[in-house]
Amino acid sequence: SRLLRLLHGWWEGLKDFYSPNSYVEIPEFNGYCGVDMNELYRSVQLYLNSLHAAVHSRRVSVSRAKNSSHLSYTLAPDQTMEDTFVGARLWWTHNVDSVPDSLEEKRSFTLKMKKPDRTRILSDYLDHVAHCAEEYDSRSRDRKLYTNNGHGSHDCGWTAVPFRHPATFSTLALDPELMDAIKADLESFGQGKEFYHRVGRAWKRGYLLHGPPGTGKSSLIAAMANYLHYDVYDMELTKVTDNSELRALLIQTTNKSIIVIEDIDCSLDLTNRLSKPPAAPPRRLESRRSVESLMEADDSRVTLSGLLNFTDGLWSCCGEERIIVFTTNHKDNVDPALIRSGRMDMHILLSTCGFPAFKCLAFNYLGIEEHDLFSIIEQSIQAGGALTPAEISEILIKHKHQDHYLALKAVVSALHLSIVTTFAQSDEPFEEEEEEVAASNKGEEQNAVVDNGEVVDVFVNNPPVNDSCVTKNSRSLTWQRRVRYLIKTKRLCEQRRLNHLL
């Protein structure tokens, strides 16, 4: 049998010598006994999957992992698929051999190419394969949403569920300039590997999202995760018992992930650092460090300094491609140390809906890009109508089976109510000129006032929906004046009523 093997070897060598082709084998496992997984094998598998051309070859194996939403295609055993690279043609074959006396199989890919191509392109081609595979893996893998629900131990503090939030940048109603800025920032972060290494910074970035409830902070986080194909770690700070648990949680997070701490000002008493009673003077010559750690030991909760270490201490660099996002409704309540630049690199204010953002919502919810009422809505927003995207989407959902006119009219009413409420709460004096305009504009409103004094409600329930109420000079100003006039009348009515009561 030794002779046979020798002859076989010679025969193969001879064949190789005269064959115009060259072959490269990529086994699934390294070494003879096969214990180490060969990374390249997996890359080739992903690469062929990414080409999707595998689907066109005669036989493919299709599989789906449990809970996954993606099908994965692989070449069936002994099937061949063709690829091209810088003008060369290459053929991949998947080999599956059964191992004698065992249930296991020996798998490998064979790459066939013309002999001259081997020296010319092989190493570039394999780099290309690895690169495409990595890209494909990060795009197609199922992402996870992790949370520290308090049941986990230090070994595994996170529990995961599939992350399938549908928010994307195209469904998000945002000021277009802000949206572009955020996207550009995320993109340059995602491609910044070399940059961060070159300048000696940890490859991470912090975003502070602030703004009133319902302006899309959580939705933006989901859109960011979907945009970059990152996992999300939703950290519930109140469930973390102490700083060391915080660190343990940090270490367990994977690369390419967003770590979120919502309502940062509510989850931690961030003033504790400033309002802490002065520590008793150290009795002996203790080092400053140990005094600090004693102070922290007092309250075994997570402290501000623990959180600062979390965001940019040495341990925060234990991985790469991390984004940390804090959200808050009141930026002023957050300790400045926590959000100084370098920790939170970009501060994003999400506020009430501007007109472009409204148009985006109207398109998403009603499927319309233009409508007669749009100009009225634009004017009302300019005149100070402030509704959050959440409030507007709520109105649009409520009316989604009705006429577009009714839905938009409801938005106009809500905007006017918000203007009226804001103005009514302020006690800005009216200017002379406005008084005059108001006087000259007396009309239906006056009648309404005479009726019962609830002029504002009349106005709000019957918003003027065409240009008839707008003078020719300046639309938005007239709107504002009109509203202010009404408020003034309402204030007067209230005053009269109060006087009457007195």
Q: Does residue number 218 form part of the binding site for Mg ion (CB under 5 A)? A: yes
Candidates 58-66, 169-177, 417-425, 430-438: pick the segment binding ligand ATP (CB under 6 A). 169-177
The one of Mg ion, ligand ATP, none whose footprint includes residue 329, by CB under 5 to 8 A per kind, is: ligand ATP
Contact 132, 115 (CB under 8 A): no
With respect to ligand ATP, which residue has the nearer C-beta, 248 or 392? 392
With respect to Mg ion, which residue has the nearer C-beta, 218 or 333? 218
- Residue 101's contacts (CB-CB under 8 Å, 6 or more residues apart) are none
Kindly state the smallest distance separating residue 365's Cβ from Mg ion, in Å.
Answer: 20
Q: x/- binding map, residues 171-210, to Mg ion, per CB under 5 A?
A: ----------------------------------------
The rounded distance, in Å, linking the Cα atoms of 502 and 498 is 6
The rounded distance, in Å, linking the Cα atoms of 243 and 267 is 14
The one of Mg ion, ligand ATP, none whose footprint includes residue 266, by CB under 5 to 8 A per kind, is: none
- State the amino acid at position 141 in one-letter form: R
Candidates 16-24, 268-276, 291-299, 387-395: pick the segment binding ligand ATP (CB under 6 A). 387-395
Question: Among candidates 329, 154, 344, which has minimal Cα distance to 259?
Answer: 344
With respect to ligand ATP, which residue has the nearer C-beta, 129 or 221? 221
The one of ligand ATP, Mg ion, none whose footprint includes residue 213, by CB under 5 to 8 A per kind, is: ligand ATP
Q: x/- binding map, residues 208-237, to ligand ATP, per CB under 6 A?
A: -----xxxxxxx------------------
With respect to ligand ATP, which residue has the nearer C-beta, 360 or 373? 360
Cα(first)–Cα(last) distance of the chain, in Å? 119
Kindly state the smallest distance separating residue 325's Cβ from ligand ATP, in Å.
Answer: 11
Residue 312: is it exposed, middle or buried by C-beta count within 10 angstroms (0-12/13-18/19+)?
middle
The one of Mg ion, ligand ATP, none whose footprint includes residue 174, by CB under 5 to 8 A per kind, is: ligand ATP
Largest CA distance in the chain: 121
The rounded distance, in Å, linking the Cα atoms of 318 and 253 is 9
DSSP string, 227-288: HHT-EEEEE-GGG--SHHHHHHHHHHPPSSEEEEE-SHHHHS-TTHHHHSPPPPPPSS---H
Distances (CA, A) of 437 to 81, 111, 258: 79, 83, 54
Candidates 88-96, 171-179, 235-243, 281-289: pick the segment binding ligand ATP (CB under 6 A). 171-179
The one of Mg ion, ligand ATP, none whose footprint includes residue 389, by CB under 5 to 8 A per kind, is: ligand ATP
Distances (CA, A) of 183 to 177, 295, 320: 10, 42, 20
With respect to ligand ATP, which residue has the nearer C-beta, 71 or 349? 349
Contact with ligand ATP (CB under 6 A): which of 267, 393, 418, 478? 393
Helix (H) or strand (E) holding 63: strand 60-63
Site residues, ligand ATP (CB under 6 A):
172-174, 213-219, 329, 389-390, 393
Site residues, Mg ion (CB under 5 A):
217-218
